Chain A
Amino acid sequence: MSPADENSPSALDHVLILAPYRKDADYLARLLGDHQVNVEIGLAGNNLAELLAASPGVLIGTHEALTPAAIEAVADHLNRQPSWAEMPVVVLLDRASRPDQVRAELSRVWPRARLLFYQRPVTAVELVSGVQSALLVRLRQREVRDHIAREIELRRELNHRVKNILASVTSIFEMTRRGATSVEVLARDFRGRLGALDKVHSAVFHAEDDAVSIAEIAALTFEPYMVGDDERIVAQGPPVTLHREAGTTMALCLHELTTNAIKYGAMSRPEGRVRFTWEVSKTQAPELGIRWKEYGGPTVEEPMRIGYGTRYVRSALTSMFGRPPQISFERDGLRCEARGLFSPLSATSDSHGS
C-alpha cells in the first residue's frame, strides 16, 4: 500500500509529538505535516494523560521530553491498552546519550510499546519513513482489533443459529413422534424432514449471501422423486430469491406437500401430476403468490384428522405470508395457495432479524 492511498495509515491516526522545546516541536510538526501525517503537539505543562487518552497512533518523544512524570504517564497509558495494541513510540536521542542504556531502561518501564530509536541529528527522510512505518504498524493493529470483534460477533451468531436449529429439530421430532404409529414410521418421517432441512441449509450456505431461489428449493425437494425427464412434477415461476428463514420455511412446506402427494395424493399413481407455480405481482407493493395443484391422482376426500403436514403447511404459510393459505381438498386433487407481501421474504430486504 502506498502512503497516498485513501486508506493510508495517517488518515486514521494522529502522531503525538512530545518536545519541550517549541522549535523542535514545530520542526517535527511541519516535517510530518508535509507528508500528510496528522500531528498533535504536547508541550511541557500540557496534561499528558489527556493527550494520550485521545489515543494517538504513534508517539514521538525527544530525549528531554522523557521526564520521570512523562515516562510514568506513558507507562500508565500503555498498561491500559487493549490486548490488540502495542503503541509505536519513536524516541529521538541526544547525540551524547548512550542508546543501549536508554533502550534497556525504556523497554523495562514500557513493556507494551514498539520502540524505535534515532540518534540526532537524524535526516528528514529517515524520520518520515520511520514514522510512516510506525503508523502502518498501528493500522495493522487496528485491523487485528476489527478481526477480533468480527470473530466475537460470528461466534455469537453461530451459537444463535445452532440453538435455533436444535430447537427446530426438537420440535420436528416431538411433532413427528405424536403422529407416528410405529417406530419405523417415526424414523422414516423424521429422516425425511431432517433431510429437507439439511438440503435447504446447504443451498443457503453455498449461496454465501444467505439467500436461496424458489426454483432451487423446488429442484432440491423434487429431485429424489424425478426419474429422467419426468413430467409428473412441474415447477414454474420467475427468478425469486428468498432470505434464509423464508427459504427454509418454503422448503419444509414443499417437503410436506410432496410427501403427502406421494403417500395419498397425485404422486401415488403413475398418471398423477403436480404443478407448483409462483409469481410476483407487478403492483406498487409486490406480492408473492404460490400455488400447489395436484391432479390425475386418486379421488380426494377431506381427511378425518389433520396431520403434521397440513398443520405445518397451514401455520408456516400463515406465519410467512401474514395470512392463512387456502388449502382445499378438491376431488381431482389437493390445492394449496398462499399470497402475501414479498418484501419481508425477499433476500434483498433487511427487515428480517437473524
Chain B
Amino acid sequence: MRIFYLEDNPLIAMHVEQLVEDGGHVFAGTASSFEELRERFDTLVMDCALVDIDLADGHTGPQAVVWLKERGVPSIFVTGQSQVAEEYRDVAVGVVPKPISESLLSEKLRLLASVVNNSD
C-alpha cells in the first residue's frame, strides 16, 4: 500500500516514514501544507493518506481529508487534536493520536488497507 503523509513536522514525518516501511508499505512522500498537496497531487501516487490537522497553512487538515476523499483517497488523522478529528469521523477512516503509539498506528494502517482493498 502506498501511503502519503500530510505533516509539517519533519521529525514526526521521518518517524512515521520508518513505521510505514516497517509495516511493509511504501512511503509515498510528504507535504507540509494542504496547498502543497493540491499543487503536487497530479505528480503523486498514493493509495491512502495520513493527515495532521494543523499544517503549515493553518487548520487545513480536515479540508484536505475531504478533498482527498473526493479523489478516492481514504485517510486517517494523525493528530494531537483528537476531538477535532472526531468531528470528521464520517470522512476519515480513523484517528491516531499524537504522540504516536507504534502499535496503534500499525493497527490503523491495517484498517486503511482493508478500506483500500475493498474499493478495488
Contact = CB atoms under 8 A, between A and B. Distances in A.
A164 B14 CA distance: 15
A164 B18 contact: no
Interface string A337-354: 000000010000001110
A168 B57 contact: no
Given A160-B54, A168-B12, A171-B100, A353 B17 contact: no
Contact of A167 (B12, B14, B59, B60): B12
Contacts of B63: none
A175 B14 contact: yes
Nearest to B80: A163
A294 interface: no
Interface in B61-120: 80-81, 98-100, 102
Contact of B30 (A163, A170, A178, A315): A315
Given A163-B98, A171-B12, A316-B10, A178 B57 contact: no
A170 B100 CA distance: 7
Contact of A319 (B8, B15, B60, B80): B8
Interface in B17-44: 17-18, 30, 32, 36
Given A168-B9, A319-B13, A351 B57 contact: yes
Interface in A310-354: 311-312, 315-316, 318-320, 322, 344, 351-353
B98 A245 contact: no
A202 B54 CA distance: 23
Contacts, number: 78
A172 interface: yes
Contacts of A172: 11
Interface size grouping (class) on chain B: 20 to 34
A166 interface: yes
B54 A171 contact: no
B9 A164 contact: yes
Given A160-B80, A351-B57, A167 B10 contact: no
Nearest to A246: B56
17 contacts: A160-B54, A160-B81, A167-B9, A167-B80, A169-B99, A170-B98, A178-B18, A311-B14, A312-B11, A312-B14, A315-B17, A318-B10, A319-B13, A352-B56, A353-B54, A353-B55, A353-B56
